[in-house]
Every structure is written in structure tokens, then in C-alpha cells.
Structure 1
């Protein structure tokens, strides 16, 4: 494989692969890739897995959100796959770029206080609303979280 100059490759990538994308998408990809190219500061065909890992560590240390890091990684992955899928460049860059796992937040930020729960129970008891009492206690006994 011949020497792959990352900036030349980026220009070809932009012309061949990003031509159907919106200008905002192209700008984001190019920005992401320029940041990565600056970070590795070596010939693109000598990129190693450690370069990817170091870049992820760098982004995490700069407190980027996981969603942003994953967008950057997707840009890099598609860019790395470009020479493999284009006969003009030949060869294979053997690094794997995988996005980071994002833990989905499936809980409420606002939770009921113990005193609010106690008031609900007293009100339901006063009104003799046994269905509400059953519901409240079911939620309480199955893991309803209280804030102090």
C-alpha cells in the first residue's frame, strides 16, 4: 500500500463519499476528522488500534458527552473504511472503531419525598379510597424511590 496522506484522503473522501450529504453533516464529519488527524499526527496508513484508544481517552478527559464522542467515532470509522472500499488506495487499515455504550437513563430525576407519600396515604385513608391506598403501597413496596 502506498503512503496515505490523511489530508489528501480527506479531500477525496469529501468529494466522493460526502457529496450527497447536507452541508452541516459534511462540516461535522470534516471537523471531526481534522481533529482526529491532528491528534494522531502520523501517516494515515500507520494508524494503530492504540491511536483510536488514545483518542477516545483524550475525548473523555476533555469531558465530551458520549453522544458527541460516538458521532466522532462514527465519522472516523467511515473514513477509515473509505480506502478499503476504493481500489485507488488499496490495502487495509486494520483498526476497529466501535462506539461507546451509552447507558440509557430510564428513571425520573424528580421523585416523591417520604413526607409527600405519607400525605397521600393519609388523604387516601381519610377518603376511604382503598384503590388508591393499594396503588400507593404497591408502588412503595415494589421500589418507589423517595428523596429526602
Structure 2
């Protein structure tokens, strides 16, 4: 992976494509896995003084048949179709880049179809269950106050868990009831935040100042801290939610992202405009937001009762 052409491709993903760190790591891992499959390390490569050039020659001669063989290899591993589709997307981007740079003439991925992925409805909470989860969080301790503030904020503004973990103190405008977040691809957006979330954040900050003596907090200081005073992690937020779900008696598993799904679903169920929800979620494509346009049985029955002439 030391060759400048491959390094240039990775730099292209990170800078020009504005991929998030997680997406970049996934693409890099996918590329390493693909190259290891089509160009296994051999004695020829080990003995070659300029093994980078040999690697490029091997990659440049990869055929569509070899790529299909790799996809067959992935299917044997029983990966989800979404994972296989992402890995193929990495390979496509890789060869498109090589064609653009003039390293190869023909793109071997041109006639390879992406696997059909099933359209799944995102997992979300009903309004009653969302309230049950949030209201069950005991906020009599600093930890409880933080947990209440974290999940009220995610549900109130539809944040990704990484966006919530990445919030700084100066990102909250209490007067305007707005929150500034850094989304995917380092794209900044400003979105409304509800009063219940603001109240929870205020209570947490007041307790935080007493606990850590941080009345004069500088810009860039994390808003949500772990018990050691550092920025809380996305994994910690997920673990905390698992515990809250158990404590409030909901016996199914959700992720913090499910609160984001719930935010979008509840807005649309209440008549919010699809494009407005797209802006709030920070989706580039409207089609990404459309997956939330599923409707509940109650809404279907209500529409039926109102509209059908012979109900």
C-alpha cells in the first residue's frame, strides 16, 4: 500500500470526497482486503526491489472475472448485502480513479452489477416508548444528568451519536434554541433544539461546574464528559442506552441511532415536510430521507376512516 498511486487514491477519499474518519477507515480496510485477494504476497513480490511497481502492475491487470470471483468469496463469508455493496463501491472508486489518472484504460467494474439490497425500515421507537425511555433516566446524580442531557439532545435534534459526542460547550445557543453540529464529511449544520433538551443540558452544565470547578470553560471544551472528565465516546453512549432500556423494562435492543430514526419518523408522522426533515438530518440525498416515510398502522386506519366512502 506504499505506492504513491494508491496513497493518492486514499488521499483523494479523505480530502476531495470529504469522507468521515469512520467511512475512510472502512474504505481503506475494504481496499486492503481486495488487494490481498487479487494480489497475494508472493516470493516474487518479496524479492522484487520495487515491489510497489509490481503491485501496481498486478492491480492494473485485474479482470472483471477476478472481481466477480472476489464477490463470490465475500458471499461465502455470508456478509450482508449492504456490506458487499459497500466493498464493491470501494473497488469501483479505486478503478475509476486509476482510469482518471491514465494508469489503466478500461474499468473492469464497468459491467459488474451491484447486489440488490433489501429495503428495510429503520428501527425506531413509538412516541410513548421514546418518552418512556427519556423519562426513566434518573437525573439525581451527575452521571444521570449527563445521560438525560445526551439522549434528550439526540432525540430533540435528530443527531447522529458521533455528532452528540462531538458537541462542544459553545455549540449550544440557548437564546435562539439552536445547536451547531459537525456532520459527515465535516459539513456543519445549525438545527433547532427543544426546550426539554436545553433544560437538561443546563442542569447538567450547572452540576458539571460544581463537580469539576469548570465555571470558565473555554471554547472547544467537550459538552458531554465521561466520569474522568474527558469527552464521552460513542461506544459509551451506546452502552448507557442498553442499560437504560433494561431499567425501563423495554426488552428489545436499540442503538442511539434509533433515537435519530425516531426523531425523523415522529416528525413525518406529524406532517413535517420531507425536505425540511432532510435538512435537519443533514442528508445529501432526499432518497436517504425517504426511508422514513413508512407510516404506522394507526395513521393508515385514520386515513381510511376519513376517506373511504363505505367504511
Instruction: Find the aligned partners of 1:43 and 1:90 in 2 and give their Cα distance.
Output: 12
Asked whether 1:57 is paired with 2:72, we answer yes
**Alignment check: 8 A CA contact 2:13 2:24 kept:** no
Asked whether 1:78 is paired with 2:93, we answer yes
Between 28-37 and 96-105, report the one with greater CA deviation: 96-105
**For residues 51-77 of structure 1, what are the alpha-carbon distances to aligned partners after superposition, in whole Å with 9 as ceiling and x for unaligned?**
111011000001101000000000110
**Alignment check: 8 A CA contact 2:85 2:114 kept:** yes
Q: TM-score, normalised by structure 2?
A: 0.30
Largest Rg, 1 or 2: 1
Give the secondary structure class of the aligned counterpart of 1:43.
helix
**Alignment check: 8 A CA contact 2:27 2:87 kept:** yes
Q: Taking CA–CA contacts closer than 8 Å with sequence separation of 6 or more, which of the two structures ends up with the larger relative contact order?
A: 1
Asked whether 1:26 is paired with 2:41, we answer no
Partner of 1:11 in structure 2?
Answer: 7
4+ residue runs over 3 A deviation: 5-8, 103-106
**Alignment check: 8 A CA contact 2:96 2:107 kept:** no
Relative distance call for 1:23 and 1:104 in structure 2 (3 A) is closer
Aligned pairs (5 A) from 1:104-119:
104=119
**Alignment check: 8 A CA contact 1:6 1:43 kept:** no
Relative distance call for 1:105 and 1:90 in structure 2 (3 A) is closer
User: 5+ unaligned residues in a row in structure 1: which ranges?
Assistant: 107-148
User: 5+ unaligned residues in a row in structure 2: which ranges?
Assistant: 40-56, 122-311
Instruction: Find the aligned partners of 1:6 and 1:47 in 2 and give their Cα distance.
Output: 19
Give the secondary structure class of the aligned counterpart of 2:115.
coil
RMSD of aligned C-alpha atoms? 2.3
Aligned pairs (5 A) from 1:127-146:
none
